[in-house]
Amino acid sequence: MDFSSPPCRSPLSLSRTRNRNRRWRQSRTGTAVVVVAALVISTTAWLSLVFSGTTARCWHRFKNWEGSPHTLTWKPRSQKPNQNGKVDGISSFSTAPSLQLGRNRSLSEAERRKVEAGLTLNHIVFGIAGSSQLWKRRREFIRLWWRKNSMRGHVWLEEKVDDKEWDESLPVIMISEDTSRFRYTNPTGHPSGLRIGRIVLETFRLGLSDVRWFVLGDDDTIFNVDNLVNVLSKYDYNEMVYVGGSSESHSANTYFSHNMAYGGGGIAISYPLAEALYSVLDDCLERYHKLYGSDDRLHACISELGVPLSRELGFHQVCLSNQLLIIF
């Protein structure tokens, strides 16, 4: 038998093959017609949507919004804690034209005069990190700048000191909460960084009225309070703002961060940012148990909220001969 020749087919077999081919061609033609019709309908709908008046107005609004500075504007509400001693949740935010988040939000001259006229030392609450063992010496630094009749704030210690070591010319002494429940796994640091990192939370929880700024510093930080008011007047306290400066030691900045506010030089946190931290700080501290101190923990938690550092050169942290000399 010659296997190179095709096998013979009967007339009936050839007729069936032709019928199958005809039905297959008809099916392909029908599918193509349906696809073309769908494309024509969808294209017509798309063109009518693109060139409609409503779409054009929405596009122009989007372009105008995209080209203008905008941010999340905080809506103030009551600063008093509830019956459980906590402030309910984080305030609502709405998108509105304002100063751009994450930059040095300097106000216009007219706005600045308006804000500066209203901002006083009484709108600032100081949270001073101290040590019971060093308090007798470090309190003399605080006397240099503290004004008892026009300022509000507290010194936070890990344990009580003798009543004789305090007088009315100094801020009120507060005892920090126990932080032994938090993990601390940094091999070279000290767990006091947890306690100091929570000062903003514990100060916020006090529910003081008419607070615009929380300013954090160490017990050997020297503040020029008049300059501080002028600096903070540049910012909108209704936004989440994180103000401070880097260390003047390059090695310290390299080890920690060039975008972190160093606690020894002072850190300013607006009320909305403090409120946001109040709700997330403890969980955040637990996540960053490997970090060294309090300021890098705060930096990590504030960064998670999407708030970058607003750098001010007036916040100095200078390391000299293994001792910290802080002057604002």
User: For the segment 22-42, what is each residue's pLDDT rounded down to a tens digit?
Assistant: 665 666 777 777 777 777 777
Contacts of 285 (CB under 8 A, 6+ apart): 182, 194, 197, 198, 297, 301
User: For the segment 116-127, what is each residue's pLDDT rounded down to a tens digit?
Assistant: 558 999 999 999
Cβ-based burial of 158 (10 A; exposed 0-12, middle 13-18, buried ≥19): middle
Span 104-123, average pLDDT? 67
Q: Return mean pLDDT, the chain.
A: 77
- Give Cα 115 to chain centroid, integer Å: 23
pLDDT for residue 325: 42
Task: Please state which of the ranges 23-37, 59-73, 215-229, 307-321 shows the lowest mean pLDDT.
Answer: 59-73
Highest mean pLDDT among 238-242, 253-257, 260-264: 238-242
For a pLDDT cut of 70, what percent of the chain falls above it?
A: 65
Whole-model pTM: value is 0.64
Under the banding of pLDDT at 50, 70 and 90, the label for residue 93 is very low
Question: What domains are there in the chain, each with its CATH number?
Answer: 113-327 (3.90.550.50)
Instruction: Name the 3-class secondary structure at 21.
Output: helix
